Amino acid sequence: MRQSGPGCYVPSEFPIDDWVSTMAETETSTPLEEQDTLYGQLGGAPVITEAVDRFYRLVLADPELAPYFAAADVSVVKRHQVLLLSSVLGGPQSYGGRGLDEAHAGLGVSGPHYDKVAAHLLDVLADLGAPAHIAEAVASTLDAVREQIVEHPVPAGEGAR
């Protein structure tokens, strides 16, 4: 997987349309490298763009998940979905910023909510015709980073789930 160097790869004010067109340019300039990644195998930038769009809509339409993003504006939320998808697929826009644990610290992402986001992502990939080996690899990456994102223990006062 290509690394994007130190620091957050995308400044927070970077508009999503530029971001997506950057992905498309990267796609045409380095198709061979991308064929080695799940990102490339899935169809590269056009399919990922569609996946981000669907994933974004599903997460924000989910009343249990939308509150996590309530304070963020649309471009931040979309950028999040791009980073999430690209990270789990090994796409060109690798995230070189804060660790996932630091990025999610204090958000209080619960296990069931993490699993819902994962399920929405896997649903989107299935709807877009992703083959089984891609779904399996994404599921195992989602398992691998789960501990960094889900908060333990449940904060006092919230009770057991």
Sequence letter at residue 63: P
**Smallest distance from ligand HEM to CB 28, Å:** 25
- Measured distance CA(78)–CA(57) in Å, rounded: 9
Q: Rounded to the nearest whole angstrom, what is the least distance from the CB of residue 103 to ligand HEM in the complex? A: 4
Report DSSP state, residue 68.
G
Nearer to ligand HEM, 31 or 147 (CB): 147
| Residue with smaller CB distance to ligand HEM, 17 or 29 | 17
Nearer to ligand HEM, 35 or 72 (CB): 72
CA dist 151 to 29, 109, 112, 130, 141, Å?
Answer: 40, 6, 11, 30, 18
Orientation of helix 132-149 relative to helix 111-127, angle to 10°? 160
Kindly list the residues in this chain that would bind ligand HEM in the complex (CB under 6 A).
8, 12, 65, 68-69, 72, 76, 80, 83-84, 87-88, 95, 97-98, 100, 103-104, 107, 109, 113-114, 117, 142, 145, 149
